[in-house]
Amino acid sequence: MQYKSASSPSLTIAGAALLLPFALRLAQTQRPSTSDGALTGVWQCKLSRADGEMPFTLDLAQSGDRVTGRVSSPAGELTIAAATLKNGVINIQLPSPEGTYLLTAESDKQALTNGRVMLDGKSYGSWEGERAPSPGRSGGVESLKDGRVRPASVSGLREAYLPIAFPSSHAANLIAMRNGDLLCTWYAGVWEGDSNVAIIMARLHKESGEWTPPSVVARKQGYAFENPVPFEPADGVLWLFHTSQLANAGQANSQIFLVTSTDAGGHWTQPRLLFAQLGSFDRQRLLASSRTWIFPTYYTPSSGITGEDALRNYSAIEISTDQGLTWKECVVPESQGLVQPDVIELSPGHFRAFFRSRWADWCIQAPREMAVPGLRP
């Protein structure tokens, strides 16, 4: 049996992950409490054992004595098999690959206390929970994260705040698809670099006024998936590049993977390794120029990205002339400490790149205009 401390979100039993799903449903419309639905809503909980703690979330709906819903944690998602609330005590049965968990606790409208966890009849730990804040409680944008498109404060613009799938979200990318939909991708999880950080997607259908709820594209126990970059070639197969790194091991072990979809993002392949050199990262869009694909990348070959370690970071351009079957890498000269290149086409065959400085001092452009045939391999 292995149990990690509170600093790690994963919990394993005999080598298998406890599949309590992580997806915080805080941004979904909260069902109003009624006299027979005191448990209805989202509860933020904590499992405690002698060797550590693990957060998890309950998303519950109560009707009379009967309770339904989901349990979520950093490792995955499970549906509650059976649950009841009687005489102020909740009982939850949760089958899993490791066995059947039984969660009991005393309940009131705002807290779950004196909780016990049993696994196949044996004591496993204690737990407690409290009701998650209502989406509108804090006002401002907190009350708007429902995916609905609204007029923005700037005349002529519209905006939407997407529901929160996980507590930490980063590196969003947007693509206008040929079918008229907008697709937004980002990565989210407990925290950047943690286990089970997932690639997330939401869609705004053509002429729709509301984004779809976020869904998981790719996720893997023990790894952090990050920096999704969508691309739609002329053949209609949707590409989504992303990085993968060992959880909590630093960026120096990152590699770039690829998933694809033949139904505009409805279903995705399993991740396939595309660029294997350790420290590989993507961030900005792939640019298709005539028959040439230009994919900006960068490298973080050391564990640190500040100070002298930043000088070990550098940028590169991956070039394909056969629709991504093969790639030629061209290192950008004089790019030490410059990462996340974004490439624009100035005229046919000529490009300019802009970079993020690791010292956060300036926006940096390429030292000169670059022609694709002259990029240094």
Q: What is the pLDDT of residues 76-104, one digit of tens each?
A: 567 899 999 999 999 999 998 889 999 99
Residue where a domain stops, chosen among 131, 162, 191: 131
Q: Tell which wins on pLDDT, 189 or 134.
A: 189
- Predicted TM-score of the model (pTM): 0.63
Q: What is the pLDDT of residue 141?
A: 62
Residue where a domain stops, chosen among 102, 131, 160: 131
Q: Are residues 73 and 201 in the same domain?
A: no
Q: Tell which wins on pLDDT, 150 or 265.
A: 265
For residue 174, what are the domain limits?
A: 140-374
Q: How many of the other CB atoms lie within 10 Å of CB of 246? A: 14
Q: Are residues 168 and 272 in the same domain?
A: yes
What is the chain's length?
377
Q: What is the pLDDT of residue 216?
A: 93
Q: Are residues 39 and 169 in the same domain?
A: no
Q: What is the pLDDT of residue 139?
A: 53
164, pLDDT greater than 70: yes
Determine the distance from the C-alpha atom of residue 73 to the mean position of all C-alpha atoms in its chain, rounded to a whole number. 14
Number of domains making up the chain: 2
363, pLDDT greater than 50: yes
pLDDT tens digits, one per residue of 325-355: 999 999 999 999 999 999 999 988 889 999 9
Q: Which of 89-98, 258-267, 295-304 has the highest mean pLDDT?
A: 258-267
| Ordered DSSP codes for 232-255 | --TT-PEEEEEEEEETTS-GGG-E
CATH of the domain at 316: 2.120.10.10
Residue where a domain stops, chosen among 100, 131, 162: 131
Q: What is the pLDDT of residue 24?
A: 30
Tell me the two tokens of residue 274.
Answer: 């595309």
Residues 242/199, Cβ–Cβ less than 8 Å: yes
